[in-house]
Amino acid sequence: MTGRTVDPTLRSWVPVPAGSDFPIQNLPFGVFEDERGRRVGVAIGEHVLDLRAVHDAGIIRLEADEAAAVSLNPMLGSRARLGAIRHRASELLTEGNEELFGIPGRGIVPLEQVTLQLPLEVPDYVDFYSSLHHATNLGRMFRPDAEPLPPNWRHLPVGYHGRSATIVLSSTDVRRPWGQHTPPAGDPVFGPSTRLDFELEVGFVTCGDVPAGRPIPVDRAEEHIAGLVLVNDWSARDIQAWEYVPLGPFLGKSFATTISPWLVTLDALAPYRVPAPPQHPEPLPHLRADPNLGLDLELEVDLNATTIARTTFRDMYWTMSQQLAHVSSNGAVVRAGDLYASGTVSGPDQGTFGSLIELAEDGARPLRLGDGSERAFLEDGDTVTMRGFCDDGRVRIGFGANVGTIVPAPDERG
Ligand code: MN
């Protein structure tokens, strides 16, 4: 069923400008709002297909909870269910199909006339650490006298549980957090972070509830992955450095995590799957997976008007399947709508790093931006924009931007 929706020769009767993130081969799901309320839609070019309107007209058949949905969660019962809705949307939007022509506005709404909303209610959020280059870079910085990779790193996808309640939609301002940190010499202080950073990540969203005690086999894990979003895992490095021993990241991360508005389905990404990097040593059997589950996804970060990083997701050491199998390998519950972020996506060279702490070498070599200013860490008013796209020269599947602007910390507490 996926095959037809990603056929590169498909065209839509909805105009799709050259370079759009949302050709008919993509059809990502999101949540939008206008004077008629909040509902679920599918992006096409510079429009959104209003699934509730199309359902009300009797042209697409949704369950009652799907038609009434104000988040994607009711449509995440299974990957097949989401795929069936997307397949029908593809039929309706294909050039030559006129089923929608009799309903008001043909069932589509210009994106400029709606406000996008957080697409998911996220039950649980996990952040991994699955880029070999990023883990090596940070290991060298934080533990210069030790092996950069901890001994577990090549045996399991290292991660931690994050805070789902502070996941926010792209374009939401991010307030500089207060926290406890230690000046280079002296006692701990409590004040606004002075080492605020971003982390370029890709997150997958689960579908189908998995009860306790039913580990997801690694070779079936993708049945539980609905799609992907771009994630900015904002990080207060000063708070993080002081708090993280021995239990890992905590308040240095939990003040905000920004996601992009559109869930790009794994179905739409099928043509862009590639072999993941070889793994040495071979993982234990429960994490031994099909190596062809990498993804050829290009990523970029702008700081204000300057592109400061270009990198690729295809070199991630641990695959999404392995991450999800690991998460449930102890019998933990997995719920539809959970978000699992990849960890910072970094390449091997300057200009391919997915965080400022790597790009500016922990403050030692500040970045020079296009306007001549320099950055070691983020300043108030700075805007970080992340973009991602798969492009095989015929079709470009984009994610829509993940944008966040830093606003000043409150002057005082209380
Ligand atoms: Mn992270």
Question: Residue 7 has which token pair?
Answer: 């056929």
What is the rounded CA–CA span in Å between residue 293 and residue 174? 34
Residue 414 is predicted with a pLDDT of 52
What is the rounded CA–CA span in Å between residue 65 and residue 51? 12
Residue whose structure tokens are 């952040």: 127
CB 94, CB 123: distance < 8 Å: no
Residue 1 is predicted with a pLDDT of 57
- pLDDT tens per residue, range 265-288: 999 999 999 999 999 999 999 999
Residue 2 is predicted with a pLDDT of 73
User: What mean pLDDT is predicted for residues 173-187?
Assistant: 94
- pLDDT tens per residue, range 212-268: 999 999 999 999 999 999 999 999 999 999 999 999 999 999 999 999 999 999 999
Instruction: Say how many Å lie between the CA of residue 132 and the centre of ligand 1.
Output: 13
Instruction: Say how many Å lie between the CA of residue 202 and the centre of ligand 1.
Output: 10
Instruction: Say how many Å lie between the CA of residue 248 and the centre of ligand 1.
Output: 11
Give me the residues paired with residue 180 across strands. 190
Residue 411 is predicted with a pLDDT of 86
* Per-residue 3-state assignment (H helix, E strand, C coil) for 184-224: CCCCCEEEECCCEECEEEEEEEECCCECCCCCCCHHHHHHH
Residue 352 is predicted with a pLDDT of 98
Question: Residue 318 has which token pair?
Answer: 């641990």
Report the CATH fold assignment for 125-407.
Fumarylacetoacetate hydrolase; domain 2 (3.90.850)
CB 262, CB 229: distance < 8 Å: yes
Closest alpha carbon to 354 in 396, 400, 389, 387: 387
User: What mean pLDDT is predicted for residues 46-62?
Assistant: 98
**Average of per-residue pLDDT values in the chain:** 96
What is the rounded CA–CA span in Å between residue 167 and residue 165? 6
Instruction: Say how many Å lie between the CA of residue 213 and the centre of ligand 1.
Output: 27
What percent of the chain is modeled with pLDDT above 70? 99
User: What mean pLDDT is predicted for residues 118-137?
Assistant: 97
User: What mean pLDDT is predicted for residues 109-124?
Assistant: 98
CB 17, CB 6: distance < 8 Å: no
What is the rounded CA–CA span in Å between residue 7 and residue 1? 11
Instruction: Say how many Å lie between the CA of residue 51 and the centre of ligand 1.
Output: 34
Residue 26 is predicted with a pLDDT of 98
User: What mean pLDDT is predicted for residues 373-380?
Assistant: 98
Give me the residues paired with residue 391 across strands. 396
Instruction: Say how many Å lie between the CA of residue 231 and the centre of ligand 1.
Output: 9
Question: Residue 371 has which token pair?
Answer: 């306007």
CB 206, CB 268: distance < 8 Å: no
SS3 137: helix
Tell me: pLDDT of 28 over 90. yes
Instruction: Say how many Å lie between the CA of residue 344 and the centre of ligand 1.
Output: 5
User: What mean pLDDT is predicted for residues 351-370?
Assistant: 97
Instruction: Say how many Å lie between the CA of residue 199 and the centre of ligand 1.
Output: 6
Choose, from 47, 55, 133, 134, the residue flagged as catalytic: 134
Tell me: pLDDT of 412 over 90. no
Per-residue pLDDT band for 397 (boundaries 50, 70, 90) equals very high
Instruction: Say how many Å lie between the CA of residue 190 and the centre of ligand 1.
Output: 23
A 10 A CB-CB count for 231 gives 28
pTM of the model: 0.97
CATH superfamily of the domain spanning 3-117:
Fumarylacetoacetase, N-terminal domain (2.30.30.230)
251, amino acid identity = L
Residue whose structure tokens are 């860490």: 377
What is the rounded CA–CA span in Å between residue 305 and residue 362? 22
CB 177, CB 193: distance < 8 Å: yes
CB 148, CB 136: distance < 8 Å: yes
Closest alpha carbon to 209 in 77, 321, 79: 77
Instruction: Say how many Å lie between the CA of residue 85 and the centre of ligand 1.
Output: 32
Tell me: pLDDT of 184 over 90. no
Residue 262 is predicted with a pLDDT of 98
Residue 3 is predicted with a pLDDT of 81
Domain boundaries, the chain: 3-117, 125-407
- How many helices (H) and strands (E) the chain has is answered by 8, 27
CB 236, CB 147: distance < 8 Å: no
Instruction: Say how many Å lie between the CA of residue 186 and the centre of ligand 1.
Output: 28
- pLDDT tens per residue, range 31-44: 999 999 999 999 99
- pLDDT tens per residue, range 325-336: 999 999 999 999
Backbone angles phi, psi at 201, to 5 degrees: -140, 165
Per-residue pLDDT band for 413 (boundaries 50, 70, 90) equals low
User: What mean pLDDT is predicted for residues 75-94?
Assistant: 98
Instruction: Say how many Å lie between the CA of residue 210 and the centre of ligand 1.
Output: 25
Give me the residues paired with residue 263 across strands. 29
Q: Could you confirm whether 280 is annotated as catalytic?
A: no
